Amino acid sequence: MSNWDKKLFIDHLREECNREVAKVGVAIIEFAEKHADDITWGRGSDHGTLTYRCNTDVGPLPLFHMTSIGQLNLQINFMRNKEVPPMVVRDLVLKLESNFLRDYDEIEYSSDVFVSIDELFHTENQLEKFLKTMEGATYRLRQ
């Protein structure tokens, strides 16, 4: 049973993070509610976690996790280890690399880690591109 829900998560996010990070977090939650096949809320006692999943041929697949303390975990390596079509992973990686100006190759990004939202998103445009990338990946993974 989940300890967290949308209201608790957003309240904690607004408590723990600056206004801009909270704004990005709320936008990601609203996106997730609209596009995810499954959203789960964490059971932790220190902070909440949202997991965004979409249905695929190999079952429900998480694309990212977000915490109520303003962190995002992109599940790139997790997808690399599943039977996800390489074209989908490659497209996702290229779009994320160009959006965040970070390397997500297997050498530079060898494990999926939580990164502060304020380190990833500096402009509204980056948020929009991230959400479009996740929407596209979700659509392609469902096929």
Taking only the tens place, the pLDDT of each residue in 42-92 is 998 999 999 999 999 889 999 999 999 999 999 999 999 998 899 999 999
CA distances from 37 to 40, 60, 86, 105 (A): 10, 8, 21, 27
For residue 128, the model assigns a pLDDT of: 97
Taking residues 11-28, report their average pLDDT.
97
Please check the confidence at residue 2 and state whether its pLDDT lies above 80: no
Which secondary-structure segment (H or E) carries 61? strand 59-67
pTM: 0.94
The full DSSP string for 73-119 is EE-HHHHHTTT--HHHHHHHHHHHHHHHT---STTTT-S--EEEHHH
User: Across all residues in the chain, what is the average pLDDT?
Assistant: 95
Taking residues 100-118, report their average pLDDT.
92
For residue 8, the model assigns a pLDDT of: 96
Phi and psi torsions of 65, nearest 5°? -120, 145
For residue 1, the model assigns a pLDDT of: 57
d(CA 42, CA 39): 10
